[in-house]
Structure 1
Amino acid sequence: METNRFIGLLMIISGATLWGISGPMIQWLFQNSDLTPNNFLTVRLLLAGIITLSLLFLTNKNIFGIWKHPRHWIQLIIFGVLGMLGAQYAFIETIHVSNAVTAVLFQFLGPILITIYVAMQTKKLPTVMQILAVIAALSGTFFLITNGSIENVVLSKKAIILGLLTTLGFTFFTLHPVSLIKEWGTSVIIGWGMLIGGIALIIYNQEFSIVHLSQSLTVNTLSIMLLVIISGTISFILYIGSLKYLSATETSLLSSIEPLVTAIVSILWLNESFGAYQLLGGLFIIAAVTFLSIPNKSKEKNITTKVMP
């Protein structure tokens, strides 16, 4: 049992670390190439979807069964376009107009909206921990946006709007596919979601061209882009795999190191600077997720999903 626990801890810490590193790598890509968010996200979703589904197929998973059920594949397409693509697009654009740390922290506000939504649906008053989580999240968001002074908003209007869309996107991403995941498994739904999202973005992004993409990349930027895609896929597999050895509560708590890793890498590698109140805001948001994770031991069977950053 101790060996299994060690394996689980190693998997979730490694997965969260890779997620945390990938955000700054995406930011570096935009700073050092002419790569557009649309083109990057198109390649990322398509490759990640193909890699995930291929791995599942090679392990004899039934990846095509869902397409025999119209009600399920209609839900899957909605998830791929609005959930997977919507959340990823807002996240990448937030990095593009602000920075990786801001995008990750807005992403971490998702569980707060989910808590509020569930409380409204069940018509039950939130627990003390949930109330503390909401207060911590709102305080953290305030400090993140204003750096402690409402007269000097740190983030641009566009960054705030995209950040809030990131929060909404990840909320929808988590809530919408719950029934599909119960029926077909997390990996199958996420794999198809990424592929469908990539195909939808190609249809929307008429200017996408492999030739133009290759011209906008150097050996270094191409290497980083491939590293982001591969590390993101591996981190997702590690996260899902850790649930075999650890509880959902433990994985949720340990995944909170992601924004810390993102902040450290951004400061050391990208020379990003953050105000003291912004850093405090980040800690408040992480604390909010921690508050939500603590009382969930009685609900370990709930679906826990995680999207690649």
Structure 2
Amino acid sequence: MASTAVGTASRERASADARTGGRVARGIAFAALGGICWGFSGTCAQLMTSGFGVSASWITCVRLLSAAVIFLAVCAVREPRNLLAALRDVRSLARIAAFALFGVLLTQMSYLTAISYTNAGTGTVLERLGLVLIMLYVCLRTRRLPKVREAAGLVLAIAGTVLIATKGNLGALAIPAEGLFWGLVSAFALACYTLIPGKALEKWGSFIVTGLSMLIGGVVATAAVRPWTIEVDLSLDLALVMGAMVLVGTFAAYLFYLQGITDAGPVRAGLVGCVEPVSATAISAVWLGTPVVPVDLAGVALIIGMMFLVAQRDDRPAQGAAAYDGAVDNLPPFQGRATELGYYRARRAVRGDFGRMKEVLEDGRRAVRALGIKEGRKRYPSARRLMRAIDDGCAYVVVAQRTADGEGAASAQDAAGSERVIGVFALDPKGDPAYAHAVGARWADGAGGPDGGAVYAALHWVTVAAGARRRGVGGYILGTAERIAREEGLSSIRADVYRENAPIRALLEEYGYRHCGDIELRPGLGRVRRRAAYERTW
């Protein structure tokens, strides 16, 4: 029996590893597709400016407004309440407006203008110099010198730019000075595009932020440029190229790249996305016959080398409370309705959170009692179990920024710091031993269980503070838990709840959890506990 259990667990672990490997491979493929589509977008811009004689300003207006309509239509269908809430959030709208003007609009105008003076490959490569500006900004903000690989990337970037601009003849520019100028402006705009929208993206998600910023940028550009006054020879061919640029080079590129981040993670996806300048150069050469000489290829190779050096990260895991931060990198898909709470994020709990975590869990017990559910005399989790989960790194808190005057702090303890705890949950990547012996469960991956190596994570104690409910925090917890489990290489999350707890059951089912039956949990001591079991698989 023991050998059979070990063999089954080994097969389950191998199956989970295979699924994880397949998901990463799929993410790499999608990220590459996104980069290729962006390169295709640059070639479409080159064709319209050089072949059809259309100005970059006219293309910018039409592209931004058309893409905004598509993005916002998708948001209106998928998350209408979040879209309306974002429109009422003045702080986020101000940041999105800055992102629209200095990120989206400036990027489009400068990039397309650089292409109009040069070509798709050159314009894309020059734009990617923005990664160097981002690296320098990070060094200034953290008050440190560039690391060796960052300094090497800076040298490669300068060398590649010089080669592309001079074609190897250092005494003269081989591309128009205007093309070089707008290429460097597009690099600055790319840095703004990356650095400005961080908090808005954390709060509302990328689709809403991108759609609103494209709308704002498109409206401002249209008011300034007045594209209806620009003489353009409208034709079917021009409409087809513009439609391909919007659908393939903007919307599809964005969709593919987001899926790449979800499946492969931001680091892998970012590196694979470096295929964009290569694809722009290749598509422009094949489709439009743009000449490419060996010195161009050398310059492209140097700048791509810079991208890998600058985008590379240390593999050392973080420690303590920062070992997992839900506000960084690829965020869970649900962010919204946080206007009243400010920006919130998840992190591993530390011992200093113990008191406030007990208060939030007590809030949850009161809510359960209000539903008419009798928990019994024994409190769950006990103080000892809660502290053990903190020490084991399985307990997490959701924290929100405290306002400057302390308003909104849930307790004096919170008011003393810069953040307040508004949610608690536990996620154990080793699973729950009780599930291996539960009666009545129909798990998707079999019994699993820690005795043979769990292929799932066990989610417990999902609780939101009384003053933070109905703000999307519960959905944020589920999204964060899923991301942690995915990063651990697991294939599902399991949870159990009171059968009478209709609100949490509705939340689980809305998020994609499957009801696996009403189960009986039999702890070593104490009465039998009857719960509704749920599982989320991917």
TM-score, length of structure 1 as denominator length: 0.92
Q: What is the count of residue pairs matched by the alignment?
A: 302
Cα distance in structure 2, aligned partners of 1:302 and 1:35: 40
Which residue in the other structure is 1:94 paired with? 114
User: What RMSD in Å do the two structures reach over aligned CA positions?
Assistant: 2.1
Q: Equivalent residues in 2 for 1:1-309 (5 A)?
A: 1-60=20-79, 62-206=82-226, 208-209=227-228, 213=232, 216-231=233-248, 232-297=250-315, 302-303=328-329
**Greater strand proportion:** 2
Cα distance in 2 for partners of 1:37, 1:121 equals 34
Say if 1:145 and 1:278, in contact at 8 Å, map to a contact too.
Answer: no
Bigger mean CA deviation after superposition, 229-238 or 31-40: 31-40
* 1:68-106 deviation line (CA, Å, top 9, x unaligned): 222221221121122110111000111111111111001
Counterparts of 2:314 and 2:225, CA distance in 1: 41
Cα distance in structure 2, aligned partners of 1:200 and 1:69: 20
Are residues 223 and 128 of structure 1, via their aligned partners in 2, closer, same or farther at CA, if it must alter by over 3 Å?
Answer: same
Q: Give the deviation of 1:11 after TM superposition.
A: 1.3
User: Structure 2 stretches of 5 or more lacking a match?
Assistant: 1-19, 319-324, 332-538
TM superposition shift of 1:53: 1.4
Say if 1:160 and 1:212 are closer, same or farther in 2 by CA, change over 3 A.
closer
Note the alpha carbon deviations across 1:229-250, whole angstroms, 9 max, x for none: 1002111111112111112111
Contact 1:34 1:217 in 2 (8 A): no
Amino acid at match of 2:238: T
The secondary structure found in structure 1 opposite 2:312 is helix
How far off its partner does 1:274 sit? Answer: 3.0
- After superposition, the Cα gap between the structure-2 partners of 1:68 and 1:220, relative to the gap in structure 1 and judged at 3 Å, is same
- Partner of 2:446 in structure 1? none
* Residue type at the aligned position of 1:114: I
Misfit runs of 4+, over 3 Å: 210-213, 296-305
1:297 shift after superposition: 4.5
Rounded to whole Å, the distance in 2 between the matches of 1:296 and 1:263 is 31
Aligned-partner SS, 2:44:
helix
**Distance in 1 (alpha carbons) for counterparts of 2:152 and 2:207:** 32
CA distance in 2: counterparts of 1:115 and 1:31, whole angstroms: 34
- CA drift of 1:27 comes to 0.7
Please give the per-residue CA displacement for 1:193-217, whole angstroms capped at 9, x wherever unaligned. Answer: 11111000111013x229955xx12
> Higher Cα Rg: structure 1 or 2?
2
Measure how far apart 1:2 and its partner are. 2.9
* Gaps in structure 1 of 5+ consecutive residues: none
**Take 1:165 and 1:116, find their aligned partners in 2: how far apart are those partners?**
16
CA distance in 1, matches of 2:303, 2:31: 20
Higher relative contact order (CA 8 A, sep 6+): 1
Q: Contact 2:261/2:330 (CA < 8 Å) preserved in 1?
A: no
Identity of aligned residues (%): 22
Report if the CA contact (8 A) 2:97-2:216 is conserved: yes
Q: Classify the secondary structure of the residue corresponding to 1:253.
A: helix
